[in-house]
Structure 1
Amino acid sequence: MTGRAAYRWAVLGLIAVCVAVSWTVIKLRAHDADRPPPPTGPRPAFQLPFTCGEVWTLTTYPGHDDFDIDFFFTGGPTGGRTVLASAAGTVTWAGWSATLGDGQPAPPGSSGTRGGLGYGVIIDHGGNWYTEYGHFAAVPKVRTGARVTAGQPIGVVGHTGSTTVDHLHYEQLDDGRDPKRTRGNGDKVEALFDGVPSGITSDDSSPDQTRTSRNCAS
């Protein structure tokens, strides 16, 4: 066999290997897509995302998603209060998310922008459970990929993103409800704090609630 022929056979062999690998990957992905998401584990012992003993008002408004909570401090100004992790977990996102009226990304630190959380954090607590925090005043105190403990400071309440009023936007999500694992609106559930339902279940009819933080792990 000449050197040229050996080279051609080597190239053909490499192509065959690549095709086989690609076919295997596609088959495995298709198989995974058909699998239902793993079952949701027990809900973590979520606590109010604020300093132990602080009293906060939980509220919502028409047009909000049903289970989204807006937190306001009852003991003085809301802006500048420390936000804590509701439970231990891993930060899956920490950063800036907002857009201007023309759809362009808003610069970090802007307020009153049309969409997004502004500065915020999403935490994976395991067992398909997530919490989401938005409208921080500044860059989060944690970074994507970091492990956090219950009660660890993760940010400061502000009004960045789609608001001009200081408050914390908060959600609890069960990612097992969505086979596509998008953590979208269909994954949101009524928040529980210290085992007690939040009472925020409908953006049209949920009355304001008052809760005292038992987030005393730190």
Structure 2
Amino acid sequence: MSAASLLKRPLLIALAVVMAAAPFAGATPASAAATSSLSKSAAAARPAFQLPFPCGQQWRLDSWGHAPALDMTKEPNQAGTEGATLVAPAAGRVNQSFLHANAGNLIQIDHGGGWFTTYIHLQVRSVQVGANVTMGQMIGRVGHTGETSNGVPHVHVEQAFDANGNGSATWGVAGSERVVQMYNGASYGTANSQTFRNVTSNNTCGGTPPERYKYWVDTFADAPGRSTPGGTRTGTLLAGTNYVYCKVEGPVVSVGSAHNKWWLQTDLDTGNPWQNQYVSAYYLTRWGNDEARDNNGNTIRDCVF
């Protein structure tokens, strides 16, 4: 999107059955002794987690049959859940980022002091292992990847404390190191079958969210926006200074001797849908054939799916 202008799908009851009955294959439980309770000192050290969504958004939180884990869908009525921006609930370092056979795209963040958060079923992972993140920084997009998503867009979220001190946190099954979740000082998921409606995110409401996951580029002409690289036309990215998120290889766009194989994920200025669409890197003004760099010469990172 330019600096200048800077599914609705019901949450099926089958999701509750699947998530309650079928743990994620490959998830490793911790010992019962390690997860039975948190010491007062550990609980006091919990980061001031905020809901992992941009400021002001409202989300529904369900514990179903797997408390204290929570499944989160966007209000009202889950509309806009698929592809919604997921942000870090607190500063930390990415501990895991990979595609799991049952859980789909998964990210785990080490927030220090033994505290971790885990996110699964993501459409897109925007950070890789070792990346440092700040509160409010985009880390991915909500989706429905993995068999245990039951094909329903949502993000499965867990907070965990490394009770056994091994430098990581187990997730996904009863007996793992996951704990009751807290956001903005309130507790959620203390028992199964809980639903919290219209929970409002206060993430980075006190200031501008970090911009370092955006690459600023100049485009020499209005660029057609497409749903996928080379796919259906959805809108337009206006000429000027714009931000993009990442690049992916696709059909080559060429005019005369100029050509470019890269497509840039961005938010369009006009169109429907306008978020998370693609424009050809052919429209970048500063670089040559098959280049995808920002205005400072930094290579735009690959999109991680």
Aligned equivalents of 1:144 and 1:124: distance in 2? 10
Residue 163 of structure 2 is aligned to residue 160 of structure 1: no
Aligned equivalents of 1:51 and 1:182: distance in 2? 26
Which one has a larger percent helix, Structure 1 or Structure 2?
1
After superposition, the Cα gap between the structure-2 partners of 1:209 and 1:174, relative to the gap in structure 1 and judged at 3 Å, is farther
Gaps in structure 1 of 5+ consecutive residues:
1-35, 99-114
Q: Alignment partner of 1:208: what SS?
A: strand
Aligned equivalents of 1:91 and 1:146: distance in 2? 5
Q: What's 2:69 paired with?
A: 68
Q: Alignment partner of 2:61: what SS?
A: strand
Q: Alignment partner of 2:135: what SS?
A: coil
Give the drift of 1:159. Answer: 0.1
Q: What's 1:196 paired with?
A: 186
In the TM superposition, 1:38-187 aligns within 5 A as 40=42, 42-62=45-65, 65-75=66-76, 76-98=79-101, 115=102, 117-138=103-124, 140-161=125-146, 162-163=148-149, 164-176=151-163, 178=164, 183-184=169-170, 185-187=175-177
Q: What's 1:207 paired with?
A: 195
Aligned equivalents of 1:180 and 1:144: distance in 2? 17
Answer whether contact 2:114 2:165 (CA < 8 A) is retained. Answer: no
Q: Deviations over 1:145-199 (max 9, x none)?
A: 11000010000010001211000110100112x356662344211111011112x
TM-score (norm 2): 0.49
TM-score (norm 1): 0.67
Aligned equivalents of 1:182 and 1:84: distance in 2? 20
Q: Alignment partner of 2:129: what SS?
A: coil
Answer whether contact 2:60 2:195 (CA < 8 A) is retained. Answer: no
Q: What's 2:30 paired with?
A: none
Give the drift of 1:209. Answer: 4.0
Q: Alignment partner of 1:137: what SS?
A: strand
After superposition, the Cα gap between the structure-2 partners of 1:180 and 1:123, relative to the gap in structure 1 and judged at 3 Å, is closer
Q: CA RMSD in A?
A: 2.1
Aligned equivalents of 2:47 and 2:126: distance in 1? 22
Aligned equivalents of 1:157 and 1:134: distance in 2? 9
Higher relative contact order (CA 8 A, sep 6+): 1
Aligned equivalents of 2:133 and 2:165: distance in 1? 27
